[in-house]
């Protein structure tokens, strides 16, 4: 409610308003002064589909617990994938399965896997216990089956799941705000934070984003933008000097008179050698 009032005030007074946590498209409609840093779930799943269709010649398995909200997400992701796959191959040749796994279903998870090729298992769930149970089962099956898991941005903050599972299962997750601890500016920020606050910047949002780095980025990025372009930056193609530690930002409008939404999304890969990498952008195709 407060954001709605603030967004309306900013629109009426021509004042840019930054929304750091709300992934809601509706507030952006007809408000060019509102800036949303969280991509909507639709934007995230469209980008996720761009990556997933590269596995069209393998076995893709969509897993959910049967909850109506998760079923809606599965159906949306599936539709986005099918639209892209239609430009790459014959749909009849695609192995795409949907599976409901919950407390009411009793079957061996191995029955949904194949030994003929790699199993691409997509789990769009943010429930730690649910994800943990599936990953545990998949981990013990990974000696017999080739498995690659795809999940959501908040997975890395799950404390009850052994990190070894992420690496052994080739876990990939998407995020707009990945922390690359090898970057010099990130290491400098962490050193300074420790000196000033005598603690680690460990607090994260429910979606898994580091709050300290995120807040630092928002302040520095938009202060730099306003100082270089003024408050009319919302109507310009800005290239500020400041590069976000969790970024970059890819701000643009879904419709002409809407507000700006961040569309930047990376795919992060937990590799079997215990490294972590950012997966290169998928190659453009006719659909894109």
Q: Contact 63/99 with Cβ under 8 angstroms?
A: yes
Q: Of the candidates 110, 120, 116, which has an alpha carbon nearest to the alpha carbon of residue 171? A: 120
H helix intervals, the chain: 2-13, 41-52, 68-85, 128-141, 163-168, 184-197, 211-229
Tokens coding 160: 């009850």
Coil, helix or strand for 141?
Answer: helix
- Multiple choice CATH, 43-175, 3.40.190.10, 3.40.1190.20, 3.40.50.2300, 3.40.50.1100: 3.40.50.2300
pTM (predicted TM-score):
0.91
List the chain domain ranges.
Answer: 2-35+180-265, 43-175
Q: Rounded to whole angstroms, how far apart are CA atoms 259 and 226?
A: 17
CB neighbour burial string for 8-19, b if at least 16 within 10 angstroms, e if fewer: eebbeeeebbeb
Give the list of residues 6+ apart from residue 248 with CB closer than 8 angstroms, or none.
264
Tokens coding 248: 């970059």
Strands 95-100 and 276-279: unpaired
- The residue length of the chain stands at 288
208: left (phi over 0), alpha (psi -120 to 50) or beta: left
Tokens coding 34: 């509102």
Beta bridge partners of 36: 19, 261
Q: Rounded to whole angstroms, how far apart are CA atoms 288 and 165?
A: 33
Helix axes 184-197, 211-229, angle to 10 degrees: 110
Give residue 16's pLDDT: 97
Give residue 23's pLDDT: 78
Q: Which residue has the tokens 């270089």?
A: 228
Q: Rounded to whole angstroms, how far apart are CA atoms 246 and 262?
A: 12
Give residue 37's pLDDT: 96
Give the list of residues 6+ apart from residue 229 with CB closer than 8 angstroms, or none.
236, 238, 240
Strand spans (E) along 108-177: 119-122, 147-151, 172-175
Q: Rounded to whole angstroms, how far apart are CA atoms 184 and 245?
A: 10
Q: Rounded to whole angstroms, how far apart are CA atoms 224 and 214?
A: 15
CB atoms within 10 A of CB 38: 21
Mean pLDDT by 10 residues, the chain (288 residues): 90 96 87 95 94 90 92 94 82 83 76 93 95 95 96 95 97 96 96 97 89 97 96 93 94 93 96 96 62
Helices first, then strands: H and E counts in the chain: 7, 11
Give residue 102's pLDDT: 85
């Amino acid at each position: 409610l407060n954001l709605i009032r603030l967004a309306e005030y900013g629109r009426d007074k021509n004042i840019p308003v930054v929304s750091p946590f709300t992934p809601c498209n509706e507030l952006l409609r007809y408000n060019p002064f509102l800036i949303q840093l969280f991509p909507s779930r639709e934007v995230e799943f469209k980008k996720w589909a761009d990556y997933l269709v590269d596995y069209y010649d393998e076995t893709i398995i969509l897993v959910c617990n049967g909850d109506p909200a998760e079923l809606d997400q599965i159906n949306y992701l599936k539709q986005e994938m099918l639209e892209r796959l239609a430009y790459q191959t014959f749909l009849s040749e695609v192995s795409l399965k949907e599976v409901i796994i919950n407390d009411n279903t009793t079957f061996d998870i191995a029955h949904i896997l194949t030994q003929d090729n790699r199993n691409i298992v997509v789990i769009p769930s943010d429930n730690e216990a649910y994800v943990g149970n599936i990953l545990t089962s998949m981990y013990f099956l990974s000696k017999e089956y080739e498995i690659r898991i795809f999940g959501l941005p908040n997975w890395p903050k799950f404390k009850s799941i052994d990190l070894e599972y992420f690496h052994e299962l080739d876990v990939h997750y998407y995020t707009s705000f990945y922390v690359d601890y090898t970057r010099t500016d990130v290491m400098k920020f962490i050193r300074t934070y420790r000196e000033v606050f005598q603690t680690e910047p460990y607090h994260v949002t429910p979606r898994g984003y580091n709050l300290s780095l995120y807040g630092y980025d928002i302040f520095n990025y938009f202060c730099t933008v306003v100082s270089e372009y003024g408050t009319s930056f919302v109507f310009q193609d800005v290239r500020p000097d400041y590069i976000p530690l969790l970024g970059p930002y890819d701000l643009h409008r879904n419709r002409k008179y809407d507000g700006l939404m961040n569309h930047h999304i990376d795919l992060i890969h937990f590799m079997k050698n215990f490294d972590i990498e950012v997966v290169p952008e998928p190659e453009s195709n006719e659909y894109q």
